[in-house]
Amino acid sequence: MEEEMESLHKNQTLELVELPEKERAIECKWVYKKKKAIYEKEGEKFKALLVAKHYSHKKRVDYDEIFSHIVRHTCIKTVLSLVAYFNMQLGHMDVKTAFLHGDLEE
């Protein structure tokens, strides 16, 4: 766990702050994964992810809104159909750490 914390500090993606009065911290846990190598030259990859225990959240106490990071396939098909129908151009960007660059109010 120390390595993960060091990495978060090094990449400036973590800032430790004091918990405000009358607020409670949301529990979290580290989830570790080992990805097998696809090619012989590529080694196994070890990943660590800090995950909030969402079942401990209370609506209107810990959060007001819910955002899903998963897109339905029907939405993707609809967008692709519209792009093809109107002869538009479509760009793609894969952002895995977008949440790290946003300002949170909670």
pLDDT in tens, 16-55: 788 888 877 778 888 888 888 777 777 788 888 878 776 6
pTM attached to this predicted model: 0.37
Name the residue ranges covered by the structural domains of the chain.
Answer: 2-90
Summarize pLDDT for 62-105 with one digit per residue, the tens: 667 666 667 788 888 999 999 999 999 998 776 655 555 566 56
| Number of helical (H) and strand (E) elements in the chain, helices listed first | 2, 2
Give me the pLDDT at residue 100, please: 58
Q: Do the beta carbons of residue 9 and residue 96 sit within 8 Å?
A: no
**Residue scoring higher pLDDT (26 or 106):** 26
Q: Do the beta carbons of residue 57 and residue 26 sit within 8 Å?
A: yes
